[in-house]
Amino acid sequence: MKWFRVCCSGLVTLGLVILLSRWWSPSLPPLGRLFSPQEGFWQNASPVSEDFSGNFSVPGLQDSATVWLDKQLVPHIFARNEHDLYFLQGYITARFRLWQMELQVRAAAGRVSEILGPETLSFDRLQRRKGMVTAAKKAVAVMENNPVTAPVINAYTAGVNAWISTLDYRKLPLEYKLLGYYPSPWTPLKCALLIKYMSDMLTGEVNARENTNARNILSASDFDRIYPDFYQQQDPIVPVGMRFDPPVSSPHAPKINAPVSGFVLPDPIKPENPGIRNGSNNWAVNGKMTRSGVPILCNDPHLDLNLPSLWFEVQLVVPGMDANGVSLPGSPGVIIGFNDSIAWGETNAERDVKDYYTVRFRDSSRRQYRWENGWKNTDLHIECIQVRDQQPFYDTVAYTFFGPVTYDASFPDPVTGKKALASRWTGGDSSNEALCIYMLNHAHNYADYLQSLQYFDSPGQNFAYADKDGNIAIWEQGKFPLLWKGQGKFIMSGEDSSNMWEGFIPYRENPHVFNPVRNFVSSANEQPTDSTYPYYYSGDFKPYRAHRINQVLSQSTHITIKNMEELQTDVYNTFASQALPLMLRELKNGASGKQETLYLDTLGRWNLYNEPYFSGPSLFQLWWDSLYADVWAGYYRKVHMAVPRPQDIVTIELLSGDSALHFLKDIPPPIPTLAGMDLDAFHKAMKQAGKIDLAGQLEWGKFQGTDIMHLAKLPAFSDMHLFTGGGAGIVNATKKTHGPSWRMVVELSSPIRAYGIYPGGQDGNPGSKYYDNMVKNWVMGKYYRIHVLDQQKPGDPAVRYRMSFEKK
Amino acid sequence: MRFLVLLVLNLFLCWLAGLFLPFWTVAAVPFIIFLLIPQRPAIGFICAFLSIFLLWFILAIVMDMQNNHILSDRMSMLIFNHRGHILILVVASLTGALPAGFAGLTACLLRHGTKKKTIDFGRFYSKYF
């Protein structure tokens, strides 16, 4: 009896210990270890009054250095030499953001399944098949061979690793404990992978495959009407009327230049609307327009909003440089910011720099492909993808003359079907963007800025510039292919050289503006030029924000920092100002019933501002979405596959010019007239609005609102249901999960005055009060002073914590 | 009195072991202690259970208070979909206390009936208190 009881009790004990020490599923970590206050998650509960000050001796430093933290935990790094500066940038960034840094490069390299299991396998395969690691390896070779960037990258890497080496299980960032893995050493390749991650995010998605689907249904002229290269109303970065030099080279289209057709679709594919693309605003006004008489530069990049935030604010000080602004965790230097002489900020160029080519393999081994009437050997890369709790997955990626074969029989393209497609992408070429950033951080004048830009190839960006001498400028910088008209808009045949890129537009021919007569420069992802620009390009351009920014700026005088903050958070809905009058006119007095009349009245009184507490924006959005769906319903029914979403601006331009809807003559819409469709859409939308109203969700800030999700998509670590204004096509481009990821206003006075904010916090630890402490003020459109600290003034009240570093 | 001493002894040794060793010390330490100092099975269970519950609860609540419950709130949302810090504090402490209690029980049961043949550490120490 005794032994029976001993056995029972012993088994229970053993069972409990095993139960609490084992992984039962990838989403359920061992609870014993997780809950233990001596090593588990409690260890990540940072005291709210934590004192970060102290003396630290870190192996790897060459000299002593100082880091001050301000109230927002922004590190101000003062080093005696550049090695120590970038070493400490790596060390401090890892101190606050290690898990995020690692996850981002893991995503870039297609190594997510290693930690998350088989669900993410197709994501990993796609990353490998895009050639991300191959591209990063090329980039790191260039960085390591450059006498400027090699020491920077290596010092940063050593700094990150110095921090990693101090970690034991209890000090690990919480996400490692929850997902059950350990950080691996940082490498220069990971710095390159981060640049490729951004490149892919900003230029990796192009419409060529969807365009090809559309072109197989539409005539050439209909295609051009629905998907025009240029919009009727345009307000490009280079003001209309500015002259361009004649082109250095104009490629000619080969004789036979029909889009590739004849795709066999084994299964009908659901039409898809590509998601919201990334965008951004930047502008600079010169001293003639400002109250202070000096230029002001503004930038707000719109990206996916996540926690931990994409950006990490820093001040980097070393003899010869004092750079301030935001960095990307994983990349040395300041990406958007200012130094003691100049300020700069970027928006995405939105230019198409990726083309798809069909590949005809000789056989299923993929060892050879058709090339100029013969067969050419492919370069086969075997990718081993580690999968958590499973055998590794091996994928073979064929590389052709153009680039990696992203889609083939073993990884069919969901958009076009089962043909093999190789991609040619400028992001896959070797380049050294880190050198551009390094030089930009050190730049003192316009010449330095120009010099640095030539090293920035991908992702193509509009670099706004302002300096203390009073100059302003903007350059669309990147490596852009020389194309014949229409080249790359559709999938091209990759069986010979006739469709390949002939070269690249010389950098000095890239669109740019220097000290223009209108006294300001701006960009907001609109087309960079009018149609007189001598080089062909296409892209995914957005017109409305630029219209509004240029309109406000051209009417402004005596501009202050406050005015610029107001413009960055401006919620005027330019698109609605164009669409709503038309929709109301066509509706005539079609409202029936009390509720519809009430809503119509609300819409009539709406001042076109997307304020969070208005219901006008929600009613307009519902109505427009419903009308849009009616207009294009016949088209989508006909194509029955993934095509690019016709832009709102195109839709409204077509509707305003053609109320009989002749442009849809081959594609009969369900209701033949605009007035009929408008009324139908109104009824449907208002019915929906009634339901939403009943649930109390009709205010714009609730109807759209914003969710800032944790990078591992854990709602408990996210900031959900934020009451935000703005929206797509609005200067304050805050959407559901996407928006101004950093807002910055810099006045180039002496000393420089700058303000900024991003929706997150400096510390990536969900257990820290600095995890999301700036979100509330970001929602309200407030800013923080960007402190430019001076080591000679240690008594500056902005200094909150003082860290002294000694070499060990 | 003896109960209290054993409680503090468990608590202290578990804390010490936890500085160097992982989670399973909450079972190992009470098991060894009650193997050496056998008690009535019920006492063994309750004493071990309480000591680890207290140890984990106190350690956690101190960190939690210094943290203004930021993390316990988030973890509670993550695991129980419930906002608040009390539930997770109690459940987390139980996670340590349960294996500890059963380990104590097992040790006492193992020694139950063989008590007379061994030195009674409990009585030995009780002279001093």
3-class SS of residue A58: strand
Closest B-chain CA to A175: B75
pLDDT score of A309 more than 50: yes
pLDDT tens-place string over residues A50-100: 999 999 999 999 999 999 999 999 999 999 999 999 999 999 999 999 999
Does the CB of A23 have a partner CB in chain B at under 8 Å?
no
Q: What is the DSSP string of A609-634?
A: B--TT-SHHHHHHHHHHHHHHHHHHH
Check if the beta carbon of residue A186 is closer than 8 Å to that of residue A161.
yes
Whole-number Å distance between alpha carbons of A654 and A227:
11
Q: How far is CA A318 from CA A62, A76, A191, A341, A808, in A?
A: 14, 11, 22, 15, 20
Model pLDDT, residue A657: 78
Closest A-chain CA to B82: A716
Range A507-511 contact pairs with CB under 8 angstroms and sequence separation of 24 or more: A507/A453, A507/A454, A507/A477, A509/A244, A509/A245, A509/A247, A509/A248, A509/A534, A509/A535, A510/A475, A510/A476, A510/A477, A510/A478, A510/A480, A511/A236, A511/A237, A511/A238, A511/A475, A511/A476
Check if the beta carbon of residue B11 is closer than 8 Å to that of residue B80.
no
Does the CB of A13 have a partner CB in chain B at under 8 Å?
yes
Residues 6+ apart with CB under 8 A from A795: none
Instruction: Record the tokens describing residue B79, joined without a space.
Output: 């695991």
Rounded (to 5) percent helix, strand, coil in chain B: 80, 0, 20
Nearest Cα residue to B89 out of B66, B50, B56: B56
Model pLDDT, residue B128: 47
Angle formed by the axes of helices A188-203 and A132-145, nearest 10°: 130
Residues 6+ apart with CB under 8 A from A178: A29, A34, A41, A712
The lowest-confidence range among A215-229, A674-688, B47-61 is: A215-229
The lowest-confidence range among A314-323, A732-741, B120-129 is: B120-129
The share of chain A scoring above pLDDT 90, in percent, equals: 73
Residues 6+ apart with CB under 8 A from A586: A659, A674, A675, A678, A679
Show which residues on chain B lie within 8 Å of chain A, measured between beta carbons.
15, 18-19, 22-24, 26-27, 31, 56, 59-60, 63-64, 66-68, 70-72, 74-75, 77-78, 91-92, 95-96, 98-99, 102-103, 105-106, 109-110, 112-113
CA distance A392 to chain B (A): 30
Model pLDDT, residue B123: 54
Asked if B23 and A32 come within 8 Å (Cβ–Cβ), the reply is yes
Asked if A32 and B24 come within 8 Å (Cβ–Cβ), the reply is yes
Asked if A32 and B112 come within 8 Å (Cβ–Cβ), the reply is no
CA distance A531 to chain B (A): 53
Measured between CB atoms, which of A6, A13, A48 is closest to B27? A13
In A, which residues are within 8 Å of B15 by CB distance?
38
Check if the beta carbon of residue A474 is closer than 8 Å to that of residue A462.
yes
Nearest Cα residue to A782 out of A772, A794, A774: A774
Tell me the backbone φ, ψ of residue A5, rounded to 5 degrees: -65, -40
Asked if B92 and A37 come within 8 Å (Cβ–Cβ), the reply is yes
pLDDT tens-place string over residues A266-291: 344 444 444 456 689 999 999 999 99
Does the CB of A773 have a partner CB in chain B at under 8 Å?
no
Closest B-chain CA to A16: B99
Residue appearing with tokens 């095993």? A18
Residue ranges of the domains in chain B? 2-114
Mutate to test the interface with B, among A23, A35, A49, A763 (most CBs of B within 10 A): A35
Nearest Cα residue to B57 out of B87, B27, B13: B87
In A, which residues are within 8 Å of B113 by CB distance?
2
The lowest-confidence range among A233-242, A365-374, A788-797, B42-51 is: A233-242
Nearest Cα residue to B27 out of B100, B97, B101, B96: B100
Asked if A9 and B105 come within 8 Å (Cβ–Cβ), the reply is yes
In A, which residues are within 8 Å of B31 by CB distance?
13
> Considering only residues 351 to 390 of chain A, which have any Cβ-Cβ distance to chain B shorter than 8 Å?
none
Check if the beta carbon of residue A472 is closer than 8 Å to that of residue A747.
no
Whole-number Å distance between alpha carbons of A429 and A564:
38
Nearest Cα residue to A434 out of A95, A200, A106, A196: A196
Whole-number Å distance between alpha carbons of A69 and A77:
9
Asked if B67 and A714 come within 8 Å (Cβ–Cβ), the reply is no
pLDDT tens-place string over residues A118-132: 999 999 999 999 999
Asked if A714 and B78 come within 8 Å (Cβ–Cβ), the reply is yes
Whole-number Å distance between alpha carbons of A731 and B52:
57
Tell me what the mean pLDDT of segment A193-205 comes to: 92
pLDDT tens-place string over residues A568-611: 999 999 999 999 999 999 898 778 889 999 999 999 999 999 99
* Angle at CA of residue A265, ends A262 and A266, nearest 5°: 135
Mean pLDDT of chain A: 91
Model pLDDT, residue B125: 52
Task: Give residue A662's pLDDT band: very low, low, confident or very high (50, 70, 90).
Answer: low
Beta bridge partners of A67: A77, A803
**DSSP H or E run through A158:** helix A149-164
CA distance A199 to chain B (A): 33
CA distance B32 to chain A (A): 13
pLDDT tens-place string over residues A606-638: 999 999 999 999 999 999 999 999 888 878 877
Beta bridge partners of A323: A316
Model pLDDT, residue A692: 96
pLDDT tens-place string over residues A714-763: 999 999 999 999 999 999 999 999 999 999 999 999 999 999 999 999 99
Tell me what the mean pLDDT of segment A761-781 comes to: 96
Asked if A17 and B27 come within 8 Å (Cβ–Cβ), the reply is yes
Check if the beta carbon of residue A113 is closer than 8 Å to that of residue A120.
yes
HSE, side-chain direction, 13 A CA sphere, residue A41? 31
Asked if A714 and B64 come within 8 Å (Cβ–Cβ), the reply is no
Whole-number Å distance between alpha carbons of A240 and A242:
6
Tell me what the mean pLDDT of segment A683-700 comes to: 95
Residues 6+ apart with CB under 8 A from B128: none
In A, which residues are within 8 Å of B84 by CB distance?
none
pLDDT tens-place string over residues A352-410: 999 999 999 999 999 999 998 899 999 999 999 999 989 999 999 999 999 999 999 99
The lowest-confidence range among A29-43, A406-420, A733-747 is: A406-420
Model pLDDT, residue A780: 95
Burial of A659: CB neighbours in 10 Å, binned 0-12, 13-18, 19+: middle
Measured between CB atoms, which of A35, A46, A717 is closest to B96? A35
Closest B-chain CA to A714: B78
Q: How far is CA A688 from CA A583, A700, A703, in A?
A: 18, 15, 12
Whole-number Å distance between alpha carbons of A229 and A528:
12
Whole-number Å distance between alpha carbons of B62 and B67:
9
CA distance A169 to chain B (A): 10
> Considering only residues 146 to 185 of chain A, which have any Cβ-Cβ distance to chain B shorter than 8 Å?
169, 174
Q: What is the DSSP string of B15-74?
A: HHHHHHS-TTHHHHHHHHHHHHS---HHHHHHHHHHHHHHHHHHHHHHHHHHTTTHHHHH
pLDDT score of A345 more than 50: yes
pLDDT score of B129 more than 60: no
Residues 6+ apart with CB under 8 A from A688: A622, A626
Q: What is the DSSP string of A653-706?
A: HHHHH-TT-GGGTTS--SSSSHHHHHHHHHHHHHHHHHHHHHTT--SHHHHT-E
pLDDT score of A260 more than 60: no
Whole-number Å distance between alpha carbons of A423 and A429:
12
Check if the beta carbon of residue A99 is closer than 8 Å to that of residue A44.
no
Which amino acid does the sequence have at A172? L
pLDDT score of A709 more than 70: yes
Q: Is the dihedral of CA A364, A369, A375, A378 positive or negative?
A: negative
Check if the beta carbon of residue B127 is closer than 8 Å to that of residue B2.
no
**DSSP H or E run through A587:** helix A574-587
The lowest-confidence range among A260-269, A389-398, A784-793, B116-125 is: A260-269
Measured between CB atoms, which of A16, A30, A37 is closest to B98? A16
Whole-number Å distance between alpha carbons of A353 and A23:
44
Which amino acid does the sequence have at A441? N
Asked if B64 and A42 come within 8 Å (Cβ–Cβ), the reply is yes
**ipTM of the prediction:** 0.89
CA A559, A560, A565, A568: dihedral to nearest 10 degrees?
Answer: 20
Mutate to test the interface with A, among B74, B79, B82, B88 (most CBs of A within 10 A): B74
Residue appearing with tokens 């090293």? A455
CA distance A148 to chain B (A): 42
Instruction: Record the tokens describing residue A85, joined without a space.
Output: 């500066």
Closest B-chain CA to A1: B109
Rounded (to 5) percent helix, strand, coil in chain A: 35, 20, 45
Which amino acid does the sequence have at B7? L
Asked if B95 and A717 come within 8 Å (Cβ–Cβ), the reply is no
Q: How far is CA A16 from CA A280, A380, A804, B63, B97, in A?
A: 53, 50, 46, 26, 11
In A, which residues are within 8 Å of B77 by CB distance?
715-716
Asked if A767 and B74 come within 8 Å (Cβ–Cβ), the reply is yes
Nearest Cα residue to A259 out of A355, A354, A375, A378: A355
Does the CB of A186 have a partner CB in chain B at under 8 Å?
no
Model pLDDT, residue A9: 86
In A, which residues are within 8 Å of B18 by CB distance?
36, 38-39
Measured between CB atoms, which of B78, B103, B112 is closest to A716? B78
